């Protein structure tokens, strides 16, 4: 089944912000590293995270991620993934922070204003 991209949805008249939410292309991201500098950069707003082991557990959104455009991520691995914010950004008020995403958990992660991130994590 073909998937609609945000550009295609905008071209059909869907407002840009809604198109950005609906047009995320699903992808698999192999996590990497254990720091902000070595984590794998998230390329799709709808990603399944795979973690090989604790030394390859990091994921990070791009530093130029738009404000109010969420990332919907799921960890399908048996090892906890670590989701970092870009260097110089805050997560729930803590500079250069991270959040753990355990096995079979999902997270909705977004920058609510410039350099400030928050999330909703499944129980």
Could you tell me the CATH number of the domain that includes residue 109? 2.60.120
User: Per the domain annotation, does 48 fall within a domain?
Assistant: yes
Q: Residue 8 domain-assigned?
A: no
**pLDDT tens-digit readout, 45-90:** 889 999 999 899 999 999 999 999 899 999 999 999 999 999 999 9
Q: Is residue 104 part of a domain?
A: yes
40-52 tens-digit pLDDT: 999 988 899 999 9
Tell me the whole-structure pTM to 2 decimals. Answer: 0.82
How many domains does one find in the chain? Answer: 1
**Can you spell out the DSSP letters for the chain?**
-----HHHHHHTT--HHHHHHHTPPEEEEE---SSTTTSEEP--SEEEEE-SSTTS-EEE--TTPPTT--EEEEE-SSS-EEEEPPTT-EETTEET-EEEE-TT-EEEEEEEETTEEEEEE--
Instruction: Assess if residue 9 is contained within a domain.
Output: no
Domain that holds residue 66: 28-121
Q: 17 in a domain, yes or no?
A: no
Query: Quick check: is 11 in a domain?
Result: no
């Amino acid at each position: 089944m073909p998937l609609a991209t945000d550009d295609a949805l905008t071209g059909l008249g869907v407002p840009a912000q809604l198109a950005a939410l609906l047009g995320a292309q699903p992808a698999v991201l192999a996590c990497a590293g254990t720091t902000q500098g070595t984590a794998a950069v998230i390329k799709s707003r709808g990603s399944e995270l795979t973690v090989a082991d604790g030394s390859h557990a990091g994921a990070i959104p791009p530093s130029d991620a738009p404000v109010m455009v969420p990332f919907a991520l799921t960890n399908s691995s048996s090892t906890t993934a670590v989701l970092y914010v870009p260097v110089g950004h805050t997560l729930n008020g803590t500079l250069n922070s991270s959040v753990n995403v355990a096995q079979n958990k999902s997270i909705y992660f977004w920058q609510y204003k410039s350099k400030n991130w928050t999330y909703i994590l499944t129980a």
